[in-house]
Chain A
Amino acid sequence: MSSRTLPLLFINLGGEMLYILDQRLRAQNIPADKAKKVMNDIITTMFNKKFLEELFKPQELYSKKALRTVFDRLAHASIMRLNQASMDKLYDLMTMAFKYQVLLCPRPKDILLVSFNHMDAIKDFVKDTPSILSQVDETYRQLIEMYTPLSSGEFQLIRQTLLIFFQDMHIRVSIFLKDKVQNSNGRFVLPTSGPVPHGTQVPGLIRMFSCTGEEVTRLQFNNGGNYTAAIREGSFEIFGDRVTKLGTNMYSVSRPVETHMSGTSKNSAQHAKVSAAPNPLAKEELNLLAKLMGGLEVQKPGNADSGFRVNLFATDEEEEEALISRPDELSYGVINIQATKDQQVNAELAKIMGEFTESGDQSPSASSKGDDLLAMMDGL
Chain B
Amino acid sequence: MYHKEKSIQIKNSASALYNNLGVLRIAPRRLTYFTVVHANVVNMVSASWDGLNYSHRQLQSKEPNVATSTSLIMQAAFCALPSRDLLVVTSQKGIQIYESDGSIMVYWHALDTPETPTAQAVFARGISAVRENYICVGISSGAILVFDVPSKGSNITLSEVLEEHKESITDMAAECSGSQECIADLVSADDGGNLCVWKSGEEFQLLNNIPGFDMSCSSVKLWKGTVVAGYGTGQIRLYEAVTGILHAEVKAHARWIYSLDIAPFSGLLLSAAEDSLVRVWHLSMTPETNSVEVAHLHNECVTDTQICGAKFCDGDGYAFAVTGYDLSEIIRYTQT
Contact = CB atoms under 8 A, between A and B. Distances in A.
Interface of A: 1-4, 57-60, 103, 106-108, 151-154, 156-157, 159-160, 163-164, 167-168, 170, 183, 187-190, 192, 196-197, 199-211, 213, 216-217, 219, 221-225, 227, 267, 270-271, 274, 277-280, 363
B275 interface: yes
A163 B215 contact: no
B154 to A, nearest CB: 27
B177 to A, nearest CB: 20
A202 B251 contact: yes
A157 B121 contact: yes
Interface in B47-72: 68, 70, 72
Interface residues of B, number: 68
B291 A203 contact: no
A189 B246 contact: no
Contacts, number: 177
Nearest to A161: B72
B248 A209 contact: yes
A205 B252 CA distance: 7
Contacts of A2: 121
A207 B248 contact: yes
Contacts of A4: 119
A189 B304 contact: yes
B214 to A, nearest CB: 7
Contacts of B299: 222-224
Contacts of A203: 234, 251-254, 275
15 contacts: A108-B256, A151-B214, A152-B215, A152-B216, A160-B15, A160-B16, A192-B254, A203-B251, A203-B252, A207-B250, A209-B246, A210-B291, A223-B299, A225-B254, A279-B70
B252 A168 contact: no
A192 B301 CA distance: 9
Contacts of A189: 304
B34 to A, nearest CB: 18
A196 B233 CA distance: 10
A279 B304 CA distance: 34
B306 interface: yes
Q: DSSP class of A's interface residues: helix, strand, loop or mixed?
A: loop
Contact of A163 (B15, B170, B235, B304): B15
A271 B216 CA distance: 30
A106 B255 CA distance: 7
B11 to A, nearest CB: 7
B247 A208 contact: yes
A151 B192 contact: yes
B304 A190 contact: yes
Ranked 7 nearest A-B pairs via Cβ: A153-B191, A221-B296, A153-B216, A224-B299, A163-B16, A3-B117, A205-B251
Interface of B: 11-13, 15-17, 38-41, 68, 70, 72, 74, 92, 115-121, 123, 167-168, 170, 190-192, 214-216, 218, 232-235, 245-256, 275-277, 290-296, 299, 301, 303-306, 325-326, 328
B15 A167 contact: yes
Given A154-B191, A203-B254, A190 B305 contact: yes
Contacts of A59: 117
Contacts of B11: 270
B117 A58 contact: yes
Classify the secondary structure of B's interface with A: loop
B234 A200 contact: yes
A196 B120 CA distance: 30
Contacts of B253: 203
Contacts of A163: 15-16, 325
Contacts of B215: 152, 199
Nearest to B273: A203
A1 B276 CA distance: 24
A280 B277 CA distance: 41
A107 B255 CA distance: 8
B248 A208 contact: yes
Contacts of A227: 254
Contact of A164 (B72, B121, B303): B72
A156 B290 contact: no
A209 B247 contact: yes
Nearest to B278: A224
Nearest to B327: A187
A168 B326 contact: yes
Given A152-B216, A187-B304, A208-B247, A196 B232 contact: no
Given A167-B326, A202-B254, A151 B216 contact: yes
Given A151-B167, A160-B15, A280-B68, A187 B326 contact: yes
A200 B255 contact: yes
Contact of A156 (B70, B216, B303): B216
* Most chain A CB neighbours (cut-off 10 Å) among B15, B123, B305: B15
B118 A164 contact: no
Contacts of B38: 167, 274
Contacts of B119: 3-4, 58
Contact of A211 (B167, B190, B245, B276): B245
A366 B328 CA distance: 40
A58 B251 contact: no
Given A107-B256, A108-B256, A183-B304, 13 more contacts: A58-B116, A58-B118, A58-B119, A153-B216, A167-B39, A187-B304, A196-B255, A200-B254, A201-B234, A219-B296, A221-B296, A274-B12, A274-B40
A290 to B, nearest CB: 18
A57 B116 CA distance: 10
Contact of A1 (B123, B254, B290, B296): B123
Contacts of A152: 191, 214-216, 232
A203 B17 CA distance: 23
Contacts of A57: 117
A210 B275 CA distance: 30
B122 to A, nearest CB: 9
Contacts of A204: 251
A277 B118 CA distance: 24
A56 to B, nearest CB: 10
A164 B70 CA distance: 13
